[in-house]
Amino acid sequence: EHTIFLKDYAPSPYRIVAVDLDFDIFDKVTIARAQLSIEPEAETPPGTPLVLDGDGLSLSSVAIDGAPLMQSAYASDANSLTIVEPPQRRFVLETEVHLDPAANTKLMGLYRSNGVWCTQCEPEGFRRITYYLDRPDCLAVFKVTLTADAKLAPVLLSNGNLVRAGDAGDGRHFAVWQDLHPKPAYLFAMVAGDLGSITDSFTTASGKKVDLAIYCEHGKESQCDWAMDSLKRSMAWDERRFGREYDLDIFNIVAVSDFNFGAMENKGLNIFNDRLVFAQPESATDANYAGIERVIAHEYFHNWTGNRITCRDWFQLCLKEGLTVYRDQEFSSDERSRPVQRIHNVQGLRSAQFPEDSGPLAHAPRPDHYKEINNFYTTTVYEKGAEIVRMLATLLGETAFRKGMDFYFERHDGEATTIEAFLAVFADSSGMDLDQFKTWYLQAGTPQVSVRDAYDAENQTYTLELDQLTAATPGQLEKSALVIPIRFGLIGPNGSPMGWSSVSGAEVRDDMIVLREDSAVLRFEGVANRPVPSLFREFSAPVQVHADRSQDDLLFLAQHDSDPFNRWEALQDVSSALLIDAVDGKRWDDKALDGLRQAALQTLDSDTLDDAFKALALEIPDASVLGQKIGKDIDPARIHSTRKDFIAALFGPVVGTLETAYEALTSNKPYAPDAAQAGQRALRNQLLKLIVGAGGDDALAVQQYSEAGNMTDRFAALTIVGTEWTHDAAGLLADFHTRFATHDPLVLDKWLMISARADDDGVIERMQAILADPAFPKNNPNRLRSLVGSFVLSNPVQFTRADGAGFRFVTGFVADVDARNPQVAARVLTGFRIWPILEPKRREAAKAALADLQQSASLSRNTADILGRMLA
């Protein structure tokens, strides 16, 4: 198989400076004509061939400067067009290809979704539209003409500004769009179709009025208001926080129903998966509202971090993604509760990125080789990439970080650049040496940090011993020490912060230890009493911490730490320790459980903590996080049942108290998606989950389901009943399907999710029946992921069944979908990444299913790449 290496990067010998695209859109065919203004680079030797990328194209005609090329002057096939001896001056290459968007089930390039023509070009979809230098360092200005039937496609959109539109005869019309910001082809977009819209405007800090519009299928307009509100808040925030203004007169968003990604940041024309646009209280949950707000912001923020400054090559993907995730996380933190956002982000990191980073698909945030770039849109590139930027901000401090960002925008605006260039702006603007810090981008694996401490009362000395170790990952056996910022505090016996007179053994700056070596022994002098250390406040580094701490100390932290993140973390640690011991056969003792219960009730009772935080504090670590902590020979069924027993033992004695608290949170206010209301619902629904889990009686959940005035409460109740598969589950799911899901595909997704998560042995058969239904939309990524993606990620017990039925269900699905949509197939397959840590019987069953898949079908490059790494 063909592998692409970072070390082989070379600039193109030719550059495309301007692109003139003409799409003649008909029901059955779209004719794409491209005029590319091309010139050789100064150092290009005469006679150097020009090789353009293609993917599944067939060339109808080719000309240079208006003259058709002779057969001998070029070579073309589906995947490339070579001009043997191009002119050694600027010339215009003209090509024509015929496309069949309706047949494009890969959803890359130009395709039809629900009748609408739309595009997805990142990373390599543009080459499925026309022959091109389809690489992110090729920046050109674009002019795009769209012509289509005025009834089939009254709306014609592309990047930039509309310069002309009018009648084209025969019932057809046209529109010409121009984007004067040079951009790589992956940011190209066009849309044609019969769409409704909502409009608004935003006036930038410097007084420029920007027209905003969100396009969607007719009838869904009123469901776009929240997305529009999120957009305007994002625009204002980026001005406030980063000094970044929008740079075009128009910003358009289009919601489409078939989309591989969540959304795409095309210049001036973002295209969104409709699940990240549509929201109304009766069909969207609070989590959906928060997700829409976040992704609208994310794509908007790409305009500066991604579009104005883009990537030199795809190895640098986290340059734009890690940084932009960091920016969207900061936005959500400023708009909502910072500690709650931080906990959510860390939960996501632990449940997705940590498993990736310790399994067969582990890779550096900036990888140095790939076979299929689509497989690198990973949680490592995105979420670990964001953690790296966050550590940079922590190490530099807020002011120096902002100064560095300003410098980045100033120095690299209009460029396609690298991680090295990104780090250099911070090194240059702050004077800090970031050479060792760069290792975070180059090294895979989650560092394990071990902590031991001792207090010497006689000498009033407190010692803190820290070690870091990163285990070998595929293809990367040697690891070096990382720079690890550890924000911390020492807490005295009365719960208040403690000082020290001097400290040695490692760099300590204010409330931060900077660990640079494999190990360090810090000695704090002048410490009056034995302190309880609070380490990695706000989760200041993406590491696994191993600290053997007493339950008393942890409960003390849960009560007294000034850092809310660590207060939450301490409670999680208490539960994890008890659960892991119990899985190991050492069942909890009553005293330990009493202590934890008391702490949980205290949290619930607090007048100072907000509801959203309380909801998280009452969370019991989930089975996959526990499995990850155990790390080897895991039996998900055993973890799951232990966890159920634990919840029953912990909360069983206080169900009445939980029910009283639940009742007190009942509200008659009309639904609003704001953080305060959402927090109240989150806490109430957390209590409901614990009440049902502790008592085994689902009556209260069934009642909430029936009485709910919004989808958040209804779906929470359905989730509890459906995943526990209580005796009312089948009836409730059927009711949900009939009353809510049949006419709204996004609600159908919710039904599919719960159908896949049921904790009973019939679940696979039921999923097979759903997929076999001729009415099931088997080419829609949202539907497929809601069912099979949820099964793989959220139903560990059934997915990893010892008889292998769960594994075979998924590999069978992958083989089937791969032929139509390789990206969806490959993504679902990554759920197998936990197979090496399963107990032997399950491990063998997983391996056999994977090996069968490798034997059987002819697989796409996407799926073959994942499978190859999975079995390596």
321 counts as binding ligand DPP under rule CB under 6 A: yes
Report yes or no: 295 and 331 within 8 Å, Cβ to Cβ: no
DSSP 209: E
CA distance 12 to 2: 20
Stretch that binds ligand DPP, among 62-70, 107-115, 296-304, 661-669 (CB under 6 A): 296-304
The site partner of 335 among ligand DPP, Zn ion, none (C-beta below 5 to 8 Å per kind) is none
214-253 mask for ligand DPP (x: CB under 6 A)?
----------------------------------------
Binding residue (CB under 6 A) for ligand DPP from 133, 190, 264, 647 = 264
CB of 307 to ligand DPP, least distance (A): 10
Q: Closest approach of Cβ 698 to ligand DPP, in Å?
A: 39
Could you tell me the smallest distance in angstroms from the CB atom of residue 383 to ligand DPP? 11
Q: Choose one: 257-265, 502-510, 748-756, 857-865; the region binding ligand DPP (CB under 6 A).
A: 257-265
594 DSSP assignment: H
At its nearest, how many Å lie between ligand DPP and the CB of residue 826?
16
From residue 624, give the alpha-carbon distance in Å to each of 353, 415, 475, 628, 667: 12, 41, 25, 6, 33
Q: How far is the CB of 323 from Zn ion (least distance, A)?
A: 9
Nearer to ligand DPP, 94 or 321 (CB): 321
**What residues contact 151, with CB distance under 8 A and at least 6 apart?**
171, 194
**Which residue among the candidates 122, 124, 217, 299 is catalytic per the annotation?**
299
Binding-site size, ligand DPP (CB under 6 A): 9
Residue 122: contacted member of ligand DPP, Zn ion, none (CB under 5 to 8 Å, by partner type): ligand DPP
Among 265, 286, 635, 713, binds ligand DPP (CB under 6 A): 265
Contact pattern for Zn ion over residues 820 through 859, marking x by CB under 5 A: ----------------------------------------
Nearer to Zn ion, 323 or 859 (CB): 323
- Of 174 and 422, the one with the shorter C-beta distance to ligand DPP is 422
Q: Which string of x and - marks every residue 626-645 that binds ligand DPP (by CB under 6 A)?
A: --------------------
Residues 86-145 binding ligand DPP (CB under 6 A) are 122
Among residues 310 and 470, whose Cβ is nearest to Zn ion? 310
Given the complex with ligand DPP, which of 321 and 724 has the nearer CB atom? Answer: 321
Shortest Å distance, C-beta 795 to ligand DPP:
26
Q: What pairs with residue 634 in β-bridges?
A: 838
Q: Are strands 448-456 and 544-547 parallel, antiparallel or unpaired?
A: parallel
Q: What is the DSSP letter of 833?
A: G
Contact 315, 368 (CB under 8 A): yes
Q: Which of 793, 785, 869, 787 is closest to 821 using CA atoms?
A: 785
Work out what residue 565 binds among Zn ion, ligand DPP, none; the CB cut-off runs from 5 to 8 Å by kind.
none
Q: Which stretch binds Zn ion (CB under 5 A): 273-281, 289-297, 315-323, 713-721?
A: 315-323
Tell me the window of 141-149, 260-268, 583-591, 858-866 that interacts with ligand DPP (CB under 6 A): 260-268
- Chosen residue from 299, 356, 372, 865 binding ligand DPP by CB under 6 A: 299
Specify the 3-state DSSP secondary structure of 433: coil
Nearer Cβ to Zn ion, position 259 or 588? 259
Largest CA distance in the chain: 95
For the CA atoms of 124, 126, 131, 134, the dihedral, rounded to the nearest 10 degrees, stands at -50
Taking the complex as a whole, how short is the minimal distance between the CB of residue 203 and ligand DPP, in angstroms? 26
Q: How far apart are CA 804 and CA 832, in angstroms?
A: 12
Closer to ligand DPP by Cβ: residue 374 or 704? 374
With beta carbons less than 8 A apart as the criterion, state whether 260 and 862 touch: no
**CA distances, 577 to each of 573, 592, 643 (Å):** 6, 11, 12
Q: Which residue among 91, 246, 261, 370 contacts ligand DPP (CB under 6 A)? A: 261
**What is the signed CA dihedral for 766, 769, 775, 781, rounded to 10 degrees?**
60
By CB under 6 A, residue 258 contacts ligand DPP: no
Contact 101, 112 (CB under 8 A): yes
299 catalytic residue (yes or no): yes
Q: Beta strand pairing status for 250-256 and 161-169? A: unpaired
Distance set, CA 26 to CA 39, 61, 190 (Å): 33, 19, 15
Which residue, 186 or 215, has its beta carbon nearer to ligand DPP?
A: 186
What value, to the nearest 5°, has the Cα angle with vertex 729 and ends 726 and 733? 165
At 540 the three-state DSSP class reads: coil
Contacts of 297 (CB under 8 A, 6+ apart): 230, 233, 234, 237, 327, 328, 331, 332
* Least separation in angstroms between CB 601 and ligand DPP: 41
Find all residues with CB under 8 Å of 444, minimum gap 6, and list them: 357, 362, 363, 364, 380, 473, 474, 476
Residues of this chain, 316-345, that bind Zn ion according to CB under 5 A:
321, 324
Closer residue to ligand DPP in complex, CB, 91/186: 186
Smallest separation, CB 320 to Zn ion (Å):
7
Preceding peptide of 136 cis, ω within 30°: no
Residues contacting residue 409 through CB under 8 Å, at least 6 positions apart: 243, 244, 304, 308, 309
Query: Residue 120 or 710: which CB sits closer to Zn ion?
Result: 120
By beta-carbon distance, which residue lies closest to ligand DPP? 264
CB distance 372 to 378 below 8 Å:
no
Q: Which is nearer to ligand DPP, 9 or 377 (CB)?
A: 377
- For residue 298, the minimal CB distance to ligand DPP (Å) is 6
Q: Does 352 bind ligand DPP (CB under 6 A)?
A: no
x/- binding map, residues 398-437, to ligand DPP, per CB under 6 A?
Answer: ----------------------------------------
Pick the piece of the chain touching ligand DPP (CB under 6 A) from 152-160, 210-218, 259-267, 681-689. 259-267
Going by C-alpha positions, the residue among 527, 676, 662, 648 that lies closest to residue 588 is 648
Q: Which amino acid is at 337?
A: S
What span, in angstroms and rounded, lies between the C-alpha atoms of 450 and 548?
Answer: 9
The pair of structure tokens assigned to 678 is: 């959402």
The one among 175, 263, 319, 767 contacting ligand DPP by CB under 6 A:
263
Q: How far is the CB of 298 from Zn ion (least distance, A)?
A: 6
Q: Please tell me the distance from the alpha carbon of residue 785 to that of residue 320, in angstroms, as a whole number.
A: 25
In the Cβ-directed half-sphere of 780, how many Cα atoms lie within 13 Å? 21
- Which residues contact ligand DPP by CB under 6 A? 122, 261, 263-265, 298-299, 302, 321
- Which residues contact Zn ion by CB under 5 A? 321, 324
Query: Looking at the annotation, which residues are catalytic?
Result: 299
